[in-house]
Structure 1
Amino acid sequence: MSTFNHHDLMRDINASLAPFRKTQGHAMTGFGQLAKAAITDGALSAKHKELIVLSIAVTQRCSGCIGFHVKALVQLGCTRAELEEMLSVCVYMGGGPALMYAAEAMAAWEKMAPAEPN
């Protein structure tokens, strides 16, 4: 399994963006509001929307996004089966490169999700 550390990556991204958040507060507030509005339950649940977001992160090869959105999915009660099914669609649409990032998403899941009962 991958030794990629999403916790450290997310911490480093947040630390690197802290000054940007201060100097570009209006833009960052707007981005945060957009993210919250986009993920809010509607015709699709927040969990389903986060699965879509993570699929985009995998196919666009964004490691930071993978970390943040796996964490969100864990908090929303996503199951490993739901994650794996979504990742299979990513591989279908994104081929080999998506498969490599699917492995990264699975590694992040393994580190962040509580163990599921068998």
Structure 2
Amino acid sequence: MHKDWKTANQTLSQAITDYRKASPELARAFSGLANVATAPGELSPKTKELIALGIGIAGRCDGCIGFHTAAAIRHGATRAEILETIDVAIYMGGGPSYVYGAQALEAFDQLSGS
């Protein structure tokens, strides 16, 4: 079964928007953390999104896969870079990461228009 990653990202975005309204103080704090963590530094924002994607795969988080794949694409990630990220995530996360890695590649192909 294939997942529609664009729709999944839109649905999750709406749920997050609803949560932000319900808990604005925590949402602002988390957004601040995300902004600091992904800001350009010694690592580029693209590299940071690839790291986040790898963690999302190893952590078995569908939402993380969808969001960080889209963010990596916005920062110029290629399919080859996504594949290497998936490879490392599988190495670190074993069999479950193999399944989620396949989903991440599917997400890249859908979200990038490949």
TM-score, normalized by the shorter chain, greater than 0.5: yes
Cα shift at 1:14: 2.1
Identical aligned residues as a percent: 37
- Please name the residue that 1:79 is paired with: 78
Counterpart for residue 63 of structure 1: 62
Paired residue total:
114
Q: TM-score, normalised by structure 1?
A: 0.90
Q: Say if 1:6 and 1:64, in contact at 8 Å, map to a contact too.
A: no
Q: Which runs of 5+ in 2 are unaligned?
A: none
Q: Which runs of 5+ in 1 are unaligned?
A: none
Asked which structure has the greater CA Rg, the reply is 1
Query: What are the residue-to-residue correspondences of 1:34-113 with 2, within 5 Å?
Result: 34-113=33-112
For the aligned residue pairs, the C-alpha RMSD in angstroms reads 1.2
CA distance in 2, matches of 1:107, 1:98: 14
CA positional deviation for 1:6: 1.6
Give me the TM-score of the superposition, normalised by structure 2. Answer: 0.93
Matched, 1:9 2:8: yes
Question: What are the Cα deviations for residues 16-37 of structure 1, in whole angstroms up to 9, with x where unaligned?
Answer: 2333211211110111111011
